[in-house]
Structure formats: C-alpha cells, structure tokens
Structure 1
Amino acid sequence: MARSINKVILIGNLTRDPEMRYTPDGQPVTTFGVATNRYWKTKEGEQKEDVEFHNIVAWGKLAEICSQILKKGKRVYVEGRLKTQSWEGKDGVNRSRTEIVVSDMVALDPRSAGGYEPESREEPEIVVEEESQEKKKPVKKAQKASLKEKENAEEISEDDIPF
C-alpha cells in the first residue's frame, strides 16, 4: 500500500492575535489566523490578487510560544497538517472547519522573534572577563560578537570556496 502525506507549509501574516486556552486536563492550545496571498496576471495583463484565510491550531509548548511571540499583522512561517472537524450545530445544521495543526513555527519579523521589544534601542552592556581575571570591561553585544569572530577566523583560500 502506498504511503500518503498530509503536510502544509505556509508563509503569511497573522489576521488576529493568538488566543490561548487550556483543555480540561491542562493542555495549552492556541488558535490564530494566517492570510496568504496569490498574485497573477490576466490575459489582458491586469494584476489580480487572491487571499486565503487559514485557521491555525498549536498544542503544548508550541501553543505557549505562539501566544507569547506572535501578534496580529506579523509575518510567520507555519508547518503542520490539515485536520477537518465536523459537528452538528445547535440549529441542526452540519458544519465543518478545516484547520492546520502546527508542528513547527518561525516568527519571520525580526522584532517579533523574541516576543519582547525593549523601550530603548541601545544594546545592553555585557561584562567580559579579560585575561587577568581581575579587570572587567563592559562591551556591547555587537563588539563581543566581533571579537569572537576574529578569534575563530581562519585563513580561507580561493580553492576552499565552492563557487
């Protein structure tokens, strides 16, 4: 018997802030919406756009992370599987809803990646120990990264570059 695949990958923008709830047994679940756009030109050369709205569900630790760092309007990558739920409404009408159950998520907006935006845009000072262990010198993050890069730098010849 052939194997089947149920996998969805989307990159889009959140249509609403994530909403986190808990199941009766304490399992966190977060829901949010993502919009994706498709663009094309008609035979006459007119630019057209189609927008799809997707219902997204995250469970467990991923649900907690989504509710902390994602916000309406932010760009996000989600990967997961399709799941369709069916039920009978109070009015007796059969209803269904297709959603994407997330297995992986990446916040694509640089400032939303940490879920926290400091009021000041200055880099915090970090204390770095010098060789003498007695003196400590405050260094900004960018300077610290630059120092590490210099320490780890190797000579690279043109023969080592694959292109």
Structure 2
Amino acid sequence: MVNCVVLVGHLGADAQSQTLPSGSQKASFRLAVDDRRRSPTGERITQTYWFNVSVFGKQAESILRYGKKGKKVAITGRLVSNKYTRRTDNVEVTVYEIIANQVEFLSPRDSEDASDSGYMPDEPAADSVLGDKNNAKQDDYSDVLEGDLPF
C-alpha cells in the first residue's frame, strides 16, 4: 500500500513552532488548497480545503523561518490520523494530519527574504524552469524524415 499525499496551496497563518523532547524542531501550519471546477450549468466553483500539516527537522526550521501567511508551498508527505475524546461532550473525534517530508516554496521571495543570504531554494520554481511559453522559439522539424525516428 502507498500512503503519499502531494498538495500545493497557501499557508493559512504563520507556521507555529514546537521543540520536541529530543531537541528537534516541529513546525505546524494549516494549508489551504483550492479545488476549482465548473458546475453542470457552466458556473465556476471554487472550494477550499484546509489541511493540518506538520514538518520536522531541517525542513521545520526552514518553514519556521520563511513560512508566512499566504506563502505558496508544495508539500509531499503521508496522511496520519489521531483520535481523542473531546472534554466538552465526551465525543470521540478523529483528526487527520499530513506529516510532510518535503516542502518547496513556490512564492517569490519577499524583499526581506532576499536580503537574507541564508535562504536558497533547492530547485527553482516550476514557472522559472519552463520559461515564458509565448517567447519560446518554435522548432522547425520539417527536415526530420520518418526513418530517422527511433519508433
């Protein structure tokens, strides 16, 4: 079985810090993910889903430093559930949480972030890798013969 969650969304608030008994950091935040679709009548519908996310170790330190409300991030992790009994009415409640093992910032850096030389993303954002499609040069493949293709 596979338990893998991949989400792209915006932080609903600044990440919250917790130091574990082992001394390592835990960062927790809520992630807002929009689901956009069209109704049967053609009307655009946007529904926002909220996810609780926890991150540990070096990733947590990075999120705590740069994970501010509204920042766009991509996360990869696993889904876990926890049960507890609510004190007010003795009802058992199940809470779902994503334990992220990878977090990538997708928002452009703020000017205050850019002045801090400590932050360098592992990879550039996807849109900077792809470039501007409108300015891309169109390749001319008219001189490629069918016999030259490997399939």
TM-score relative to the length of structure 1: 0.65
Residues 1:86 and 2:83 are matched in the alignment: yes
Tell which has more relative contact order, 1 or 2 (C-alpha 8 A, sep 6+): 2
Cα deviation, 1:131-152, whole Å, max 9, x if unaligned, reads: xxxxxxxxxxxxxxxxxxxxxx
Q: 1:115 to 1:62 in 2, by over 3 A?
A: farther
Count of residues in correspondence between the two structures: 116
Give percent identity, aligned residues only: 27
What is the CA-CA distance between 1:10 and the residue it aligns to? 0.5
Q: Given residue 5 of structure 1, which amino acid in structure 2 is its aligned partner? A: V
Partner residue in 1 for 2:126 = none
- Residue type at the aligned position of 1:68: R
2:57 paired with 1:76: no
CA deviation string 1:52-78 (max 9, x = no partner): 001100011211111111110010000
Asked whether the 8 Å contact 1:6–1:81 carries over to 2, the reply is yes
Q: Which runs of 5+ in 2 are unaligned?
A: 117-151
Question: Match of 1:60?
Answer: 57
Report the Cα distance in structure 2 between the residues aligned to 1:12 and 1:104, rounded to whole angstroms: 14
What is the TM-score with the length of structure 2 in the denominator? 0.70
Asked if the contact 1:70–1:115 (Cα under 8 Å) also holds between the matched residues in 2, the reply is: no
Conserved 8 A contact 1:68-1:115 = no
Question: Where do 4+ consecutive residues of structure 1 move more than 4 Å?
Answer: none
Q: Which is higher, the Rg of structure 1 or of structure 2? A: 1
TM-superposition CA deviations, 1:55-113 (whole Å, max 9, x none)? 1000112111111111100100000000111112223221221011001010001215x
Q: Which residue is 1:110 aligned to?
A: 108
